[in-house]
Amino acid sequence: MSIKISASGDTAVIVEFGDEVNRELSNLVLSADATMESSNIPGVIETLPTFRSLLVQYDPLVTTSEQLIAKISPLMDTLASHEYCARSWHIPVCYEEEYAADITQVATATGHTVEQVIQIHSDVLYHVYMLGFLPGLAYMGDLPEALHLPRLTNPRTRVPAGSVSIATSLTTIYPYESPGGWHLIGTTPLNLFDIKQTPPALFAPGDLIKFEPISSAELINISQQISRGEYCLKPEGTPT
């Protein structure tokens, strides 16, 4: 395994593990993240896992990139022995066409029925690779090849919050209304980002996600429970 550690700007160091998107690299990134957290290196402010790398932000008044790289390098030798205990979430999703603007087109484009698209998408235990684009937006893989589609040629200017979408080998949920170019195949009533919570993002890199199909009536019912503060979603497992 070849690991590259280098400065990234004047307040960060980046640890790169490869140039692909796969579980093996992601597990190394997560192991590096956990190792950095437990090491308590002076000056480190935050670590940010991505698909294939770990960004380490630091206080330049406390340390330098050269000093930090010298401390990080030997830590990378212990990554193989680290075991990551993922949290597992069951996420309710309504795949009915009223809440899934592109599901019929996705079925046609992939040569499946709508029911098959729902089954294929909801049968997978997805891995959260990273958060990005919007606060709380989780890039999840690995979408079965049977549903692989390129992004939309003409992205939407407005995608509703809670939209479950797919593109290439990934699936995600839009935490806020925003522009977007992914195919919309469902809706979840859950709030994925709440600044009043600690941490504010519901998901974290390394989490496992299972989508559970629900009816539109169940979607409305859960939404009402959430608005009344009566709905509580908890994951299985505890992260290291």
Q: Which helix (H) or strand (E) holds 55?
A: strand 53-58
| Helix locations, the chain, DSSP H | 23-39, 65-75, 103-110, 114-122, 216-227
Q: What is the pLDDT of residues 44-87, one digit of tens each?
A: 999 999 999 999 999 999 999 999 999 999 998 877 645 566 89
- Asked whether 34 and 86 are in contact (CB, 8 A), the reply is no
Residue 82, Cβ density class (10 Å: 0-12 exposed, 13-18 middle, ≥19 buried)? middle
The token duo for 213 is 């199909």
Q: What is the pLDDT of residues 137-176, one digit of tens each?
A: 999 999 999 999 999 999 999 999 999 999 999 999 999 9
Distances (CA, A) of 57 to 25, 69, 105: 20, 12, 43
Rounded to an integer, what distance in angstroms lies between the CA atom of residue 51 and that of residue 29? 8
All structural domains of the chain, each given as residue ranges with its CATH number in brackets, are 4-81 (3.30.1360.40), 88-227 (2.40.100.10)
Quick one: which of 156, 139, 157, 232 has its CA closest to 191?
232
pTM of the model: 0.92
Can you tell me whether residue 231 is helix, strand or coil?
Answer: coil
